[in-house]
């Protein structure tokens, strides 16, 4: 990382044991939303396939509060980081940290004062009713005083992500949101899957290519199918309804009201 405040001494390693990177052929194209590479700087973990003038090794921090992730200084939120989630810091500049969010993989800028030293989360907030947003990750000590119906151990998350999604009906619609304070379509899917133990990127176009597997057009719609329309996504609850983020927030709607289905994907 480029700021001395988070400087770490390089590990001692002999030339024989130190990991080296060799870029062969042409540099690969990257998606800057989920791959930390810019014209001037890249994550050293991408050095074997991306050329950059400078590389930075990530320093892990944990969020101390809910904060937006911005594509650029002063830009609009593209996601958000929640308390207890990790953020891999690659650069500090003008009050912001640039890096990679650990839970949804978003690359962007987060206010430096929203990040603190790493913690060891053991629980995740799964319901409203606390000072923490749904999705926040807590240490055992933080979770000790909370109702067991509000937090779940990270090693015992529910597998029925549709039931998780149904519990979030009524959450408002917020661009770039992925918490109980508000969600957009991709953020809703990413949040729901994370609460069921599956890491998922939050951008709809990437979800439509990478999550689960494609379902053929003539196959029946099953509970849990991800329904992708143009620049949008919903979660099927049965063969005729889905959970969708509309103007009024997360609601159950008829599949027929979603518009033309571009593709369906089914989680394992």
- Spatial separation of the C-alpha atoms in residues 74 and 109, rounded to whole Å: 9
> Rounded mean pLDDT of 244-263?
96
pLDDT at residue 21 greater than cutoff 70: no
pLDDT at position 27 over 80: no
Closest CA to 187 of 97, 79, 260: 79
Burial class (CB in 10 A: 0-12, 13-18, 19+), 225: buried
Q: Which domains does the chain have, with CATH numbers?
A: 4-116 (2.30.30.40), 120-156 (no CATH), 157-266 (3.90.1720.10)
Inter-residue contact 47 to 24 (CB < 8 Å): no
Q: What angle do CA 147, 153, 159 make, to 5 degrees?
A: 110
Which of 232, 234, 208 lies closest to 223, judged by CA? Answer: 234
pLDDT in tens, 75-87: 999 999 999 999 9
Kindly report, residue by residue over 219-241, the tens digit of the pLDDT: 999 999 999 999 999 999 999 99
> Would the pLDDT of 12 be above 90?
no
Residue 17 has pLDDT above 50, yes or no: no
pLDDT of 3: 59
Write the pLDDT tens digit of every residue in 81-116: 999 999 999 999 999 999 999 999 999 999 999 999
Does 18 have pLDDT greater than 60?
no
pLDDT band at 129 (very low <50, low <70, confident <90, very high): confident
pLDDT tens for each residue of 180-227:
999 999 999 999 999 999 999 999 999 999 999 999 999 999 999 999
The mean of the pLDDT values for the chain is 91
Tell whether the model's pLDDT for residue 16 goes beyond 50: no
DSSP code string of 154-173 = TTS--S-HHHHHHTTTTPPB
User: Using an 8 Å Cβ cutoff, are 94 and 70 in contact?
Assistant: no
What pLDDT score does 20 carry?
Answer: 52
E strand or H helix that includes residue 189: helix 185-195
Q: What is the DSSP string of 22-88?
A: ---SSPPP--TTTS-B-SS-EEGGGTTT---S-EE--EEEEESS-EEEESSTT--EEEEE-TT-EEE
- Report the percentage of the chain scoring pLDDT > 70: 90
User: At a CB cut-off of 8 Å and minimum separation 6, what does 87 contact?
Assistant: 60, 61, 62, 63, 81, 97, 99, 100, 101, 102, 110, 115
What pLDDT is recorded for position 9? 35
Lowest mean per-residue pLDDT among 14-28, 36-50, 114-128, 146-160 = 14-28
What is residue 145's predicted lDDT score, i.e. its pLDDT? Answer: 84
CA dist 90 and 235 (Å) reads: 34
* 107-130 mean pLDDT: 96
β-bridge partners, 228? 233, 263
Confidence tier at 155 by pLDDT (50, 70, 90): very high
């Amino acid at each position: 990382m480029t700021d001395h405040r988070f400087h770490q001494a390089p590990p001692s390693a002999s030339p024989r044991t130190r990991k080296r990177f060799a870029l062969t052929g042409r540099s690969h194209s990257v998606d800057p939303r989920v791959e930390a590479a810019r014209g001037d700087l890249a994550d050293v973990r991408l050095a074997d396939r991306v050329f950059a003038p400078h590389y930075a090794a990530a320093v892990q921090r944990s969020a101390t509060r809910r904060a937006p992730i911005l594509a650029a200084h002063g830009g609009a939120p593209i996601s958000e980081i929640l308390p207890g989630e990790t953020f891999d810091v690659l650069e500090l500049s003008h009050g912001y940290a640039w890096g990679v969010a650990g839970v949804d993989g978003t690359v962007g800028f987060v206010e430096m004062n929203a990040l603190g030293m790493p913690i060891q989360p053991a629980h995740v907030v799964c319901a409203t009713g606390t000072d923490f947003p749904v999705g926040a990750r807590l240490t055992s000590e933080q979770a000790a005083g909370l109702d067991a119906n509000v937090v779940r151990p990270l090693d015992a998350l529910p597998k029925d992500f549709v039931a998780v999604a149904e519990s979030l009906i009524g959450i408002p619609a917020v661009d770039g949101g992925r918490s109980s304070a508000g969600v957009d379509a991709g953020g809703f899917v990413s949040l729901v899957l994370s609460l069921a133990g599956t890491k998922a990127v939050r951008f709809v176009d990437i979800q439509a290519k990478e999550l689960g597997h494609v379902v053929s057009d003539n196959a029946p719609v099953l509970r849990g199918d991800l329904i992708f329309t143009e620049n949008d996504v919903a979660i099927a609850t049965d063969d005729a309804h889905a959970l969708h983020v509309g103007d009024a927030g997360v609601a159950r709607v008829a599949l027929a009201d979603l518009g033309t289905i571009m593709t369906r994907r089914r989680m394992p």
